[in-house]
Structure 1
Amino acid sequence: MDNAVSRDLASMQHVLTPPRDYQFIPTPYSTLSTTQPSQPTVSCQEPGCRSAQKPASDCARKRCKKHCLDYPTPCGFKAHDQTRRALAAAPVPPTQTPFTLSHPAPVIPPRPRQFTPSQPILDPQVSVATQLEDLGSSSHIQRDVMPEEMKQDWDTAMRERLEKTRAVAERRHNLLMVERTFNVNAWTVDGQHAIESVVQGPPTWPTVKLAQLRIIRDLGLQDETTVQQFVLSTRSWVNIPLTYKIKVRPKEHILIRRIGVQNCPDFEDVCA
């Protein structure tokens, strides 16, 4: 068994041992890399600059040409300093905003000459007053008078137009008065029927003052200071002064009675 192992080792050594005429051929995978590590890219030191231009090595500011020229002092780089001196020597043109427009001088038209009429030639044989009077009458503008028939037609048309305008205004006023109509039922004597009055369009609509109603004067209640009004929500009579202001609605019935009146015969019919 030892002999077999020895033979195997000898055969493997023969295989692994290179021949004497063996020559090593380098390949990209077998050679060591001889490249130097990449240097960091030097960019413009101006904050916010995105220029791909590499700053000059002689520029002390380490900035691109655009941002280096923003400084008035030299940086040590010949090209930058020459450009800086050339820009300083050149005159700076005045800045013009796009909103400033240059207009030519305004043109003033010549003033027209005033027309001076020639003086009339006066006849020495005729008095000056007579000639001036004739001259004034001849220059007077003559206006034609409207014919009588045309004047009558014009007056008729204007009168009809005025009447139509008044009718329209009156119709609007009447419709407004009809819309602002309410009734007042008053019992002044115990046991008698109520006296009904219709009120249209008070000036203070929709509020009204009882003392200003005509029915108060017609019934002789102007001397009274207080009357009773029926409140439908509570179905009770309450005392209110005549100077009291109430709010009314169209077609509403205001029920009042004199102080002391208890028997109102048609009260239920009016409430219905």
Structure 2
Amino acid sequence: MHKTVVDANSSPFRLNLRELWAYRDLFIILAYRDLRVRYAQTFLGLFWAFIQPAATLLIFSVVFGRAVKVDTGGIPYPVFAIAGMSAWTYFAFVLNQSGNSIIGAQEMVKKIYFPRLVIPLSKAVVGLVDFAIVMLFLVGLMLIYRVPISANIWALPFFLLLTVVSSLAVGIWLSALTIRYRDFQHVVPFMVQFGLYATPIAYPAETIVKNLPHWANVLYYLNPMAGVVEGFRWAIIGGAAPSEYSWISFGLIFLLFLSGIVYFKKIEKVMADIV
């Protein structure tokens, strides 16, 4: 295992990055192990990553596309929904996996030292596989319905970065909180289920917020994925531009990310004792 030389004059944040880099081999091993375990001894293998968004899309298409008849601005409803679902699928995966990540690795945490942040970070890498499959699903639907790529595609890297950072921000918080408060193991699935409908995936955000007062709009965009999903969809297939309230979501993402790292480092000192 690589060893890190501590520089007393270096900042804690810089030292943390150096330490994470020193343990990059462990990071790769954990990510590869999780990927293998997830699809080991399964009949359909990676196809499971396709089935879940496909089933969700079917339900959304029946309920919101046909029954409610959500206005998507002329974009075929399946393309509209899966564009938003692409970002949400990755976010939901990281939340579900990060919540129990430290507890699941408690034997390793108790026996050896390594930067514990490696564990939730490795989950974020594994989630990219599901994300890539859903993106291929989206491209296929765009070809079937002949939906052209938006001229806003230049903004996609920015929203991809926000998707990853928002997933890590909440995931790091949950991985640390779950150690002290085991109730979060039961709260996380509820958060994911509730967030699926509280985020503008099955419907455009403007249908919810256009008749709401200012304070309610602010409250709605305190959901970090509200602005991300809205921008992600706009970058790929066009439609309504992200709301001016989206900056609330973007600011909250970076606040959660930075504060999550600070809290995680605080808990890391006693993690082996309380896990």
Higher percent of residues as helix: 2
Normalised-by-shorter TM-score class: under 0.3
Greater relative contact order structure (CA < 8 Å, 6+ sep): 2
Higher percent of residues as strand: 1
The structure with the largest alpha-carbon Rg is 1
TM-score (norm 1): 0.15
